[in-house]
Amino acid sequence: MKIDMRDAFFDRLVELARDNDQIIILSADHGAFALTKFEKEMPERYINVGIAEQNMVGVAAGLAASGKIVFVYGISPFVSLRVLEQLTIDVAAMQLPVNVVSVGAGFTYSTDGPTHQGLQDLSAVLTIPRMTILNSSDPENTRFFVDAAVSSRKPHYIRIEKESLESFHRLESVDSSLQKGFSLLREGDNRLLLLSTGRISHDILKVASMCEERLGLRPSVIDVHLIKPLPEKALLSEIKKYSHVITIEESYLSSLGGEISKIITKHSLPVKLSNLGIDEQLFFQGANREEMLAAANLSPEQIYNSVKNSIEEVSYGEN
């Protein structure tokens, strides 16, 4: 069953807030259906600061310094790029429990043009020291993010989707996968690993099936939701099993692709690495999300062709 990702997040937050009066939400004049439930039930703990994101983060830091667990909510570029200094100095440097809930990953707000597209938020927030980054891909990990943020009392940047998605069938237990920071969604042979993050992981499962049907190649698929700190040791144990790793993301390549590149280089792994994402030289005007993904060469068919071209450059031996 498909569940709206915002509902998955805020419904869980309402459940926890009923038993924890330290939880507060600040909004930059941006709403969601499930968020109205919080506002109606706990109006004294819901504050709409208006379209003033920098001020919102400052207010959130003050509330967190007084003992509150604060969630701030807004559209991706406005709660990452616009507030980068405030997140760095007011929140991360002070290690305050402020949790940025960023809606609009990738081309979610595709028709609103480059001002609203969440293509560089991960790259920007990755530069902030001691900021945990979580990227949602299904209702299971979206709900988990709420519990993780409330219990840790540390700063988080939490990226959630705007649309409805189904939960993955994970090959390990849900709890184990969520605690580890990534989920094994499909296990293939030891030739090719597809590493993705966020909504596009649903498309990558389709791409893996296309590879098996058309090429007789059985890729493994891993969805990474803990982007920072990247679960290096656990990911390393997976990556080293394969001769070829391809990362795919609906963002500029300096986020997941860049972080995986660092791991492979650091440990001198004999692995061929390819990174698929959005060309950092491009800006995109408005269209629907599927059209935008196609313009960025990230439709399932285009990703399959990129994977096919990449693996044709590698001579695979027998397993």
Residue 23 pairs in a beta bridge with: 69
pLDDT at 317: 47
pLDDT at 282: 64
Burial 54-67 (b: 16+ CB within 10 A, else e): bebbbbbbebbeee
- The class that CATH gives domain 174-312 is alpha beta
**CA 149 to chain CA mean position, Å:** 15
Residue span(s) of the chain under CATH 3.40.50.970 come to 3-165
- Specify whether the CB–CB gap between 34 and 6 falls below 8 A: yes
- The class that CATH gives domain 3-165 is alpha beta
Residue span(s) of the chain under CATH 3.40.50.920 come to 174-312
- Residue 85 neighbours by CB distance under 10 Å: 11
In the block, residue with structure tokens 């399959």: 304
- Residue 24 neighbours by CB distance under 10 Å: 21
Alpha-helical (H) ranges within 168-230 are: 174-180, 200-215
Evaluated on CA atoms 231, 233, 234, 237, the torsion sign reads positive
DSSP 111-163: GG-TTT-BSSHHHHHTTSTT-EEEE--SHHHHHHHHHHHHHH-S-EEEEE-SS
pLDDT at 30: 82
d(CA 242, CA 191): 5
Digit-by-digit pLDDT tens for the chain (319 residues) are 899 999 999 999 999 999 999 999 999 988 778 888 999 999 999 999 999 999 999 999 999 999 999 999 999 999 999 999 999 999 999 999 999 999 988 888 877 778 788 889 999 999 999 999 999 999 999 999 999 999 999 999 999 998 899 999 999 999 999 999 999 999 999 999 999 999 999 999 999 999 999 999 999 999 999 999 999 999 999 999 999 999 999 998 778 999 999 999 999 999 999 999 988 766 777 778 899 899 899 999 999 999 999 887 765 544 4
CA 13, 19, 24 angle in degrees (round to 5)?
50
- Residue 243 neighbours by CB distance under 10 Å: 17
pLDDT at 314: 62
**Helix axes of 33-41 and 5-19: crossing angle, nearest 10 degrees:** 20
pLDDT at 263: 94
pLDDT at 315: 55
- Specify whether the CB–CB gap between 126 and 259 falls below 8 A: yes
